[in-house]
Amino acid sequence: MSAERSTADRPWWRNAVIYQVYPRSFADADGDGIGDLAGVRAQLEYLARLGVEAIWFGPWYPSPMADAGYDVADYRDVDPTFGTLAEAEALIGEAHALGIRIIIDVVPNHCSGEHPWFQAALADPAAPERDLFWFRPGKGPDGGQPPTGWTGNFGGGTWTRTTNPDGSPGDWYLHLFAPEQPDFNWDHPAVRAEFEDVLRFWLDRGADGIRIDSAALLVKDPALPEVAEGVPSPHTDRDEVHEIYRSWRRITDGYPGDRALIGEVWLPDRQRFADYLRPDELHTAFNFDFLGCPWDAAALRHSIDGTLAAHEPVGAPATWVLSNHDVTSHVTRYGRDDTSFSFAAKREGTPVDLELGRVRARAAALLSLSLPGAAYVYQGEELGLWEAEQIPPELRQDPMYARSGFVDPGRDGCRVPIPWSGAEPPFGFSPPGSADPWLPQPPEWKSLTAEAQDGDPQSMLSLYRDALAIRRSCPALGDGPLRWLDSPPGVLAFARPDGFACVVNFRPDPVELPAHQAILLTSGPLPGGRLPTDTAAWLRTH
Ligand code: GLC
């Protein structure tokens, strides 16, 4: 395969395969049943061998863990559960030595109720810190009604009433997520200055990228109107938010090396989404449209075309995401009748054919890893972990579960600790004799441990290792153009320059492969040389 254009001279974030580590659930070195940085450091070689180019860490900051660390009490330190700041610095250095970049999760929309600013604001209704948040009197004669009727992202209302120091009922404060996560007031210059400093804190420590949590939510309409059809949302995707990211871009541009800003932007409107990726704003953002897409050739092609068309005018690379710590594992999604994903309809408990989901997840890996741009791998995806749907109610931790009145199962099922080795829980997640893992692991995962899959050429782990090795050696993959090839209905086939093709068969019957010189990798066997249902092939075409 000849390289039409080398990707080697392009910034890493245009091409990289980025592995998401969910620190609580990756590897536990100190035996408390919760993952930690020492556990990650011990597994860096595993990640290097897997072939990823970067690691994104979920929040590791000091936190009361009301939302698994997305409630940050101190943006410049590490929670003792995970380790120390010195360990984080060592980890960054060790990853760099292995050629792996590090992406830090910054949570700017809200902090923890334990953050010193919020504590000061609560302690005194006259405190200047009140202005750093959204404190408002309630409605109604006694102020007993919340200032707005907005619905929070975890269900329930978005305001909690405070109690004044003299015991009388006080103002309400805004939280788009749990009450333990008060929203910052981004109209206040001190909030802006603080986060610019937080960015510098981690960039100074070698962070190569910043994942921006809830990136579209920061700015609110200060008039606090109700949400209404046909008018801009008072709390999501306000035009003024772009000014914040322009100032952040000036900061990353001032650092040596390619430092990337990566937005968590959930927006249905692709044009509004792409606005975040203008040349003076964020570098990339997560492609949730593709993640939510059903396992269907036409729907996926529509999503791929729409994604590429939206990114092209702003010059940003697309990203491809199948799973993360917020969504139902794609092995499980793809094994259901309805294979789409939305937060509104999680379908926990509906029938799942895990074998079907596994076969499709293998094909989806080859599809997503050969599309133009960067790709994300959520920890455990390379092991084919499915959603743990049998977690007993009393062990569920996600605030989404309680706040939805126990209707939404929450996100614990995709956050279960990684099975590394052995035949029974904790599967090497913790050292022998440790506390139980913070969420129970399905005993069936004994066949999915990294140890069980290592060296098995048919395993999901081997598929990911093979795919990433090919991707690294093949300059056609990653950033660059895509050309659709003629194919029968229900088959997706595309070429990447120069001489690479990916074919995925969604039809019920096997199909012939297009003309090729060599088969580089397939997601499953090819009986009779034909590509079966739910199978993908990577080909060298010339
Ligand atoms: C993002 C995170 C999610 C968290 C929420 C609030 O969506 O991915 O896990 O609960 O923000 O910080």
| Alpha carbon distance 382, 360 (integer Å) | 13
Per-residue H/E/C for 280-296: CCCCEECCHHHHHCCCC
For ligand 1, say whether the CB of 326 is within 6 Å of any of its atoms.
yes
pLDDT at 204: 98
With a 6 A CB cut-off, is 71 part of the ligand 1 pocket?
no
Tokens of 118: 């919020």
Name residue 538's beta-bridge partners: 502, 521
Q: Does domain 116-174 have CATH number 2.60.120.10?
A: no
Cα separations in angstroms, 514 against 299, 502, 519, 529, 541: 22, 10, 11, 11, 8
Residue with tokens 């999503």, as numbered in its chain:
303
| Residue minimizing CA distance to atom 2 of ligand 1 | 213
Domain ranges of the chain: 3-109+188-453, 116-174, 482-540
- Of ligand 1's atoms, which has the minimum distance to the CA of residue 399? 10
Q: Is 75 in the pocket of ligand 1 (CB under 6 A)?
A: no
What is the per-residue pLDDT for 106?
98
Give this prediction's pTM: 0.97
Cα 117–119–121 angle (5° rounding)?
70
Atom index in ligand 1 nearest the CA of residue 400 equals 10
Which residues are part of the catalytic machinery? 213, 264
Phi, psi of 161 (to 5 degrees): -85, 140
Task: Please give the backbone phi and psi of residue 107, each rounded to the nearest 5 degrees, phi first.
Answer: -115, 90
- Answer yes or no: is the C-beta of 208 below 6 A from any ligand 1 atom: no
Query: Residue 511 is encoded by which pair of tokens?
Result: 């199909």
Residue 214 Cα, ligand 1 centroid: separation in angstroms? 7
pLDDT tens digits, one per residue of 298-351: 999 999 999 999 999 999 999 999 999 999 999 999 999 999 999 988 888 899
DSSP for 310-349, written as a single string:
HHGGGTPPPEE-S--TTS--HHHHTTSSS---BTTB--TT
d(CA 415, CA 23): 10
CATH class of domain segment(s) 482-540: mainly beta
Q: What sections of 374-520 are H helices per DSSP?
A: 399-403, 450-453, 460-473
Six-digit token string for 215:
């990136």
- 324 vs 378: CA distance, rounded Å: 5
* Strand 209-212 versus strand 260-263 pairing type: parallel
Taking CA atoms only, the protein residue closest to ligand 1 atom 3 is 326
Ligand 1, atom 6: closest residue by C-alpha? 70
CATH number for the segment(s) 3-109+188-453: 3.20.20.80
Burial 390-403 (b: 16+ CB within 10 A, else e): ebeeeebbbbbbbb
pLDDT digits (tens, 9 = 90+) for 189-235: 999 999 999 999 999 999 999 999 999 999 999 999 999 999 999 99
pLDDT below 70 — which residues of the chain? 1-8
Is the minimum distance from the CB of 107 to ligand 1 under 6 angstroms?
A: yes
Per the listing, tokens 């923890």 go with: 112
The CA 107 to ligand 1 mean position distance, Å, reads 8
The pLDDT assigned to 346 comes to 84
Q: Which atom of ligand 1 is nearest to the CA of 266?
A: 7
Distance (Å, whole) CA 500 – CA 520: 9
Q: Which residues pair with 537 in a beta bridge?
A: 503, 522
Helix axes 241-253 and 189-204, enclosed angle (nearest 10): 30
